[in-house]
Structure formats: structure tokens, C-alpha cells
Amino acid sequence: MAKLVIGLGNIGKEFENTNHNMGFMAVDMLAKKYNVKIAKNMCSSMVGEFNCGGEKIILAKPTTYMNASGIAVKSLISKFGIDTAKDMIIISDDIDLDIGRVRVRQSGSAGTHNGLRSVIKEINTTEFVRLRVGVGKPPEHVDLVDFVTAKFTDKEGINAGLCKAAEALEMFITGSSLDQIMQKVN
């Protein structure tokens, strides 16, 4: 049995520390805490694996770019035999949440998020846990794509949200119930 933790983002130096890379950064925080290198290239993702409480944990960062994230997610699910409803969590940014806020949900739509839209399309279900990290709304007259691919400016607020996200991920991999996680971080 294994748990799959997938952070959505865009690969490349130009996308580091951007609003759209909250998933990558949250997974990196968890990897750092458990001293895991996310260095294996498999299933169109960079992957790191470790054991926690006798359970295999797979950390993944798709290398397909955001809008095709579902291709990597589908491949990872197939390779590791993951039950998407209970053993997978996907982390993404969310413009509808204030900076520093996080929200965990069992299921739902993709909203405006193209990465989640790709995942839902490829795996043909909305039944998977998602952890959304707030980046706030774009300023007036700023295009959504420009905003999410821009470097974030509120480093303190973003860090607070990422710390909450990492806490939620740790609860997920150590067996806390979804209700416990939601009560703690939502």
C-alpha cells in the first residue's frame, strides 16, 4: 500500500517562486522535513520515495507543465496502484483563497485551475483529496495567466500558507482522517 502526494507546478527556473508553483513548494517542504530527494525521473514526474509508519510515500512533481498535469498523475496512479479517493492528495495554488490560507477538500470541481482540470479529465473522476494554497486574486487589470506565473511578493504570507500545507500533508501521510486534517488547517 502506498500514498501519493503530488504537487502541481511548472518546471524551470523562470517559474520558481511563482504563484502557480505552490504545489511544488509544499512537496519540497515535506521532502526536506523527511530528508527525501525528489530526483527520480519517472511517469513524466520528478519523484522521491520514503517509508513512513510502514507505508510507502511517493512525492511527485509533474514535469509536464501545469496544463498537462493529468498525464503525469494518471501515469503515477497506474504505476503505483493508487486508490485516488483515499491514498492520493494533490496540492495546487488557488486564487480564490487569501494569501496564507489553505483548504482541504475530498472532491470538487477544478474551478479556474487548468492543472486540476487536466487531472480530472485524465483520471476521469473528481473524487480525490486536494489541498489548495491561497495566492489571492490578481490585481485589477492584470491577466490571470500573468498573475499566476509571476513571482509572489508577500513572502511571509505565502510561507505561512506553505507551512500549513506541509502540516496538512504530514497529517495525510501519517494517517490522520480527512476530517481531522480539515479541522486543523481549513
Residue tagged 479541522 (cell numbers): 183
Which member of 3, 20, 103, 132 is catalytic? 20
d(CA 158, CA 156): 6
**Cell numbers that stand for 53 in this block:** 509508519
20 is catalytic: yes
State the DSSP H helix or E strand holding residue 22, giving kind and residue range, or none if neither: helix 22-33
Reference 131, options 106, 149, 151, 155; nearest CA is 106
d(CA 96, CA 121): 22
Reference 99, options 37, 164, 28; nearest CA is 164
The residues annotated with a catalytic role in the active site are 20
